[in-house]
């Protein structure tokens, strides 16, 4: 099997072009309304060309997920890694995630559309379907799982006693919510929202004296 790096330059370019088109279409119409024909239209190529490069609709979706995930991790991982304390890490996590969204509106929306709308032929959600799972893991998402930040903060008593899982869930939901608002309204002050989140989680995790 050929890895992504074996691809010729033109092949790479075409794939990139198709993925970009796919993200634009998904962000605009939603996952369900996105068809291969619509993507081909957006890119300005024939439908068969899309399938020549991706073999199945699923492959496009996986590639989009992998790409966006990768970009996000690239952006967030160093930001978090640079911080010494859980408190700082948490703020960095939030700010870098928000910054990523602000700078990558379309990919972020596409990603969320997929995560909430995708179902495998047998009805499984994106996070239960195996292939998409793998894309995520390969990109080292686990490194970034905020649950570990909460766990560490609790352990070191930098944070008040709290449930790392619940906290993670609340935080992820609040961050994903930013994307919905941003999708709805391109003028949404996403940075302002991000700062409010920083405050909320700072106050909500601070160990009480």
Select from a second copy, DNA, none the partner in contact with residue 133, using the beta carbon and a kind-dependent cut-off of 5 to 8 Å. none
Contact call for residues 151 and 168 (beta carbons, < 8 A): no
Contact call for residues 129 and 118 (beta carbons, < 8 A): yes
Reduce the DSSP state of residue 75 to 3 states and report it: helix
- Among positions 28, 30, 51, 148, the unique one binding DNA when judged by CB under 7 A: 51
Residue 41 CB contacts under 8 Å (≥ 6 apart), including other chains: none
Q: How many residues bind DNA (CB under 7 A)?
A: 23
As a whole number of angstroms, the distance between CA 96 and CA 88 comes to 12
Asked if 5 touches DNA (CB under 7 A), the answer is: no
Select from DNA, a second copy, none the partner in contact with residue 150, using the beta carbon and a kind-dependent cut-off of 5 to 8 Å. none
As a whole number of angstroms, the distance between CA 65 and CA 62 comes to 5
Contact call for residues 54 and 62 (beta carbons, < 8 A): no
- Nearest-5° Cα angle at 62, 60 to 63: 65
Closest approach, Cβ 44 to DNA, in A, equals 9
Asked if 166 touches DNA (CB under 7 A), the answer is: no
- Among positions 8, 84, 130, 187, the unique one binding DNA when judged by CB under 7 A: 8
Select from a second copy, DNA, none the partner in contact with residue 8, using the beta carbon and a kind-dependent cut-off of 5 to 8 Å. DNA
Closest approach, Cβ 55 to DNA, in A, equals 6
Asked if 52 touches DNA (CB under 7 A), the answer is: yes
- Among positions 28, 59, 145, 152, the unique one binding a second copy when judged by CB under 8 A: 28
Asked if 57 touches a second copy (CB under 8 A), the answer is: no
Contact call for residues 114 and 31 (beta carbons, < 8 A): yes
- Rounded to the nearest 10°, the torsion over CA 197, 199, 200, 203 is 160
Which residues in this chain contact a second copy in the complex, by CB under 8 A?
28-33, 116-117, 119, 123, 125, 127-128, 162-163, 166-167, 169-170, 172-174, 176-178, 180-181, 183-184, 192-193, 196-197, 199-201, 203-204, 206
């Amino acid at each position: 099997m050929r890895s992504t790096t074996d691809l010729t330059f033109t092949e790479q370019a075409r794939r990139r072009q198709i993925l970009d088109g796919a993200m634009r279409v998904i962000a605009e119409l939603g996952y369900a309304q996105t068809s291969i024909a619509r993507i081909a239209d957006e890119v300005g190529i024939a439908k068969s060309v899309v399938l020549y490069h991706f073999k199945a609709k699923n492959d496009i979706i996986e590639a989009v997920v992998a790409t966006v995930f990768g970009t996000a991790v690239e952006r967030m991982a160093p930001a978090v890694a640079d911080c010494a304390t859980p408190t700082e890490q948490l703020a960095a996590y939030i700010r870098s995630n928000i910054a990523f969204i602000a700078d990558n509106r379309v990919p972020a929306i596409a990603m969320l559309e997929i995560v909430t709308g995708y179902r495998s032929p047998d009805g499984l959600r994106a996070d239960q379907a195996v292939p998409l799972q793998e894309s995520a893991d390969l990109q080292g998402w686990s490194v970034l799982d905020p649950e570990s930040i909460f766990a560490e903060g609790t352990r070191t008593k930098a944070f008040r006693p709290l449930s790392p899982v619940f906290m993670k869930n609340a935080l992820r939901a609040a961050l994903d919510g930013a994307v919905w608002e941003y999708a709805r309204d391109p003028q949404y002050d996403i940075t302002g929202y991000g700062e409010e989140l920083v405050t909320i989680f700072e106050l909500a995790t601070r160990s009480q004296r």
